[in-house]
Structure 1
């Protein structure tokens, strides 16, 4: 947070164990739609970014 109107958020879907910084909160798992995640993961890259943008248009959050 750098002041008013500077907050943001992002999330990562990790396909393997990675060393995320300890300041990150790790939560959740993909319970449906892993085929979509796999499709995003196999998208050709342009440098370190996908050659085409990928969008997750909706998701559900559930407890338990």
Structure 2
């Protein structure tokens, strides 16, 4: 299985040094998805938010550590 992009947009600010991968919910499946996204991206810091998001399981905020060319 892969990931589906359901929403995209700009972050509240544009000066993130590190890419953030935020898991919405603290289930083991949510944690595995966040870890897998980090593995696929090759960068990022995984964080867990206890606040459930109705539409998305993960939020990824691209930081300066994300390579411009892949």
TM over 0.5: no
Between Structure 1 and Structure 2, which shows a larger proportion of strand residues?
2
Query: Which has the greater radius of gyration?
Result: 1
| TM-score, normalization by structure 2 | 0.24
